[in-house]
């Protein structure tokens, strides 16, 4: 287990509820409804004993939280990270509810996680961890109940183990139990790139409204995992100049631009982008403060806080990660005219294509990659347009507009369904 300091500076669940409170006040949503939406429907905490490669047994703490299922089955990733705590999972599940509602897909929000360091574990240990965790939560997941997906520290292989474990217990293959699966076992074309592609579409939509394009825009991407690395690649392909990149070990910067493909190769060879030829070293913290046109935090929560918000130079921030900006920092950035494309809009591409994968699995009929990307563009652009129209009409931030649309949709569904009994 990592002994490094947690990246969480404030309680993420309290921050998520503060965001909800602001939305409720601004759009005059009934206080009782806000109270209902501020609570999580179910939080499962399980012990996950695993036999390690050296024969010892370690017990990990695992969580699965379902925030809201008013609009459909719960949907959300599973995170493997040393800092996973139940309140982080609660916050992430709440953000998933808003994300699904904003995109207009029939899911509620969920999230899961295990407090572990996947980088220090062997493939066999990770498989045993995943299979035991799946068994512990098996009665609470399913294609019509709660559908997991990859998140930080997990990938298609993790989902394959989860899918297999669930299917073996049910006695037949259940394609819809999980999304983000490898193509060979019912995954969707375009799913791996979906979160990054959705962020790209959001940036395009913003710039088009300003009569501009990505060509020549100087971009900093924090995080070189699945989301950040692919977003950097897409942005460079669109003509943007990537001047800063980072991963968990540190960052690199280059005034004249970084060759993103060279960064991919360097990370594959060394395990990190640190030391990339033609670049200068920079810390993850300093990377956020580099002069640029677009900043894309694509790693973890709470990287932009009240302490460093005033030093952020980017006029546009695209939240590739969930919750990278705290509410206090949000207020400071807004007062300075910084435009933030919020997480529920910027990184919703993953859950949209997860929805596509779920639909394809239920139908056992699969789409072409062009069809997946076209439908993702349509849904992302429609959500962006609705949020932008509300922003302009009500003179609020894009975050408040996006969250306002999403929360109102869930509130309306809650009112229509009523309280049982």
User: What is the C-alpha separation between 322 and 310, in angstroms, rounded?
Assistant: 21
DSSP helix/strand/coil, 61: strand
In the sheet that holds 57-68, the strands lie side by side as 42-51, 57-68, 108-115, 74-81, 146-150
Q: Which residues are known to be catalytic?
A: 111
CB burial of 244-282 (b: ≥16 within 10 Å; e: otherwise) equals bbbbeebbbbbeebbbbeebbebbeeeebbbebeebeeb
> Which residue pairs, CB below 8 angstroms and at least 24 apart, start in 122-125?
122/53, 124/53, 125/50, 125/52, 125/53
User: What is the C-alpha separation between 264 and 229, in angstroms, rounded?
Assistant: 8
Provide CB contacts within 8 A for 214, sequence distance 6+: 203, 204, 207, 235, 238, 239, 240
Nearest of 44, 111, 105 to residue 77 by alpha carbon? 111
User: What is the C-alpha separation between 223 and 225, in angstroms, rounded?
Assistant: 6
- Using CB atoms within 10 A of its CB, is residue 59 exposed (0-12), middle (13-18) or buried (19+)? exposed
User: What is the C-alpha separation between 73 and 147, in angstroms, rounded?
Assistant: 7
């Amino acid at each position: 287990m990592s002994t490094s300091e947690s990246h969480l500076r404030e309680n993420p669940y309290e921050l998520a509820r503060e965001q909800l409170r602001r939305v409720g006040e601004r759009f005059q949503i009934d206080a009782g409804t806000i109270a209902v939406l501020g609570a999580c429907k179910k939080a499962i905490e399980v012990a996950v004993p695993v036999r390690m490669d050296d024969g010892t047994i370690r017990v990990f703490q695992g969580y699965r939280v379902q925030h809201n299922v008013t609009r459909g089955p719960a949907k959300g990733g599973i995170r493997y990270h040393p800092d996973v705590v139940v309140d982080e999972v609660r916050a992430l599940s709440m953000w998933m509810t808003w994300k699904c509602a904003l995109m207009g897909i029939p899911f509620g929000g969920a999230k899961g996680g295990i407090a572990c360091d996947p980088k220090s574990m062997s493939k066999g240990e990770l498989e045993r961890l995943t299979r035991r965790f799946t068994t512990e939560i098996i009665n609470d997941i399913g294609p019509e109940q709660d559908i997991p997906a990859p998140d930080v520290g997990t990938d298609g292989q993790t989902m394959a183990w989860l899918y297999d474990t669930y299917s073996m217990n049910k006695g037949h293959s259940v394609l819809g139990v999980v999304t983000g699966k490898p193509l060979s076992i019912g995954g969707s074309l375009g799913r791996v790139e979906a979160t990054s592609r959705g962020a790209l579409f959001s940036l395009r939509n913003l710039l088009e409204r300003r009569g501009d394009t990505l060509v020549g825009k100087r971009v900093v991407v924090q995080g070189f995992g699945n989301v950040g690395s692919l977003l950097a690649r897409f942005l460079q392909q669109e003509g943007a100049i990537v001047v800063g990149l980072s991963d968990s070990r540190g960052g690199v910067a280059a005034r004249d631009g970084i060759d993103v493909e060279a960064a991919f190769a360097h990370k594959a060879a060394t395990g990190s982008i640190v030391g990339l030829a033609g670049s200068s070293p920079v810390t993850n913290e300093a990377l956020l403060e580099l002069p640029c046109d677009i900043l894309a935090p694509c790693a973890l929560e709470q990287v932009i806080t009240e302490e460093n918000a005033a030093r952020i130079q980017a006029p546009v921030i695209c939240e590739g990660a969930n919750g990278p900006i705290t509410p206090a920092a949000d207020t400071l950035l807004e007062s300075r005219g910084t435009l933030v494309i919020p997480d529920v809009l910027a990184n919703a591409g993953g859950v949209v294509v997860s929805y596509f994968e779920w639909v394809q699995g239920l139908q056992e009929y699969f789409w072409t990659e062009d069809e997946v990307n076209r439908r993702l563009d349509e849904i992302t652009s429609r959500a962006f347009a609705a949020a932008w129209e509300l922003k302009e009409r009500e003179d609020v931030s894009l975050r408040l507009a996006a969250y306002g649309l999403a929360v109102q949709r869930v509130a309306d569904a809650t009112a229509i369904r009523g309280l049982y009994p």
